[in-house]
Homo-oligomer: A and B are copies of this chain.
Amino acid sequence: MAPIKNGRVIFNEIPTGYPVPGKTTVYDESETIDLDIVTLNGGILVKILALAVDPYLRRKMIDPKIPSFFPPWGVGQVLDNNGVGVVLRSEDPAYKVGSHVRGHFPFQQYVVLHDPSQVGTHVLENKGNLPWSVHLGVLGMPGRTAHHGWSEFSHFKKGDVVFVTAASGPVGATVVQIAKAEGLKVIASAGSDEKVEFVKSIGADVAFNYKTTKTREVLEKEGFINIYWDNVGGESLEAALEFAAQKAHFIICGNISGYNTPDPYHVKNLQQLVWREITFHGFLIVSLLAKYQEEFDRTFPARVASGEIKYKEHIVRGLENAGQGLVDVLTGKNFGKCVLVVAAE
């Protein structure tokens, strides 16, 4: 077979605000690959089927001189993130041809992984016969973030009131359902009336559109809150501080509202931390995987397969639309987990 193009998405320029497709990132078809003869060196050849598009990727688009937990992409580098693919060829007995794998992949059509286990590639089972993309969402990083973060930091007890922001997103929606399954009262915010309806449909006791209803007015009526799941920071965090119960736990999972602007909203009432004896738990999922992944893998796929835990996906098709997918998740245009579909099986 002759070489074929191996399309890819390249980081092209550090943005100041929101990334601009075609400018911040460009789709490039200059590379080719010969699937039959490309050298594997004991590794595997993967056809990438789908890639996750997450808000945190914006964090990798910063000036590399700024200290950051996530190593920034250099200009000219191919984007990378969690993905799902199918093994086309293999020289590693742990990965059979035709099996599906999840791992950390570049944003391109085909990839050779010389040492697949080193980059976290593992073979997926699919007992519940769910779409492979769920392994990027509710059974992937976002679902694990919700489950592991809740397990480690919520300290929930009977009667607690929970507030979840970005509650139609893949993390938030999972948190809402975990909290409801524990019998707690859940207040949830989302960014459109359609999203609010979905959040109600998965069990939130109170759901509102934060663009048309003031968070502080809802919390004043429905709070005080014992647990706050913070995906957004800014004004929502400020309102949560104002209506926090004594000894509340704030699980600080993200700060989407501050990612894309040089002048984000700054919280003005941090002194509530002291008066209300609040704990802020900042966390990254990587630190909790070892402790919770066994329990998650044992229990969560069945809860999803049975329909107990519901999820939404926002499908973007084609690597050439990767930049738009990122804008979608940063502006809240997505409704559910943003999955970039790279290829059919």
Contacts and interface: CB of A to CB of B under 8 A. Distances in A.
Interface stretch (A93-101, A180-188, A263-271, A333-341): A263-271
A282 B247 CA distance: 8
11 contacts: A59-B275, A68-B275, A69-B246, A69-B275, A252-B274, A254-B274, A255-B274, A259-B271, A274-B283, A278-B282, A280-B282
A284 interface: yes
A323 interface: no
A279 interface: yes
B271 A258 contact: yes
Question: Which of A59, A253, A270, A282 is the most central at the interface, judged by chain B CB atoms within 10 Å of its CB?
Answer: A282
A249 to B, nearest CB: 10
A200 interface: no
Interface string A68-105: 11100000000000000000000000000000000000
Given A267-B266, A267-B267, A270-B233, A70 B275 contact: yes
Q: In the assembly, how many copies of this chain are there?
A: 2
Given A254-B274, A255-B270, 18 more contacts: A59-B275, A69-B246, A69-B275, A233-B270, A233-B271, A247-B287, A252-B274, A253-B274, A258-B270, A264-B268, A266-B266, A266-B270, A267-B267, A274-B283, A274-B284, A275-B282, A279-B282, A280-B280
A258 B49 CA distance: 52
Interface residues of A, number: 34
A203 to B, nearest CB: 26
A281 interface: yes
A254 B270 CA distance: 10
A259 B246 CA distance: 20
B267 A270 contact: yes
B267 A277 contact: no
Contacts of A33: none
A312 interface: no
A277 B270 contact: no
A273 interface: yes
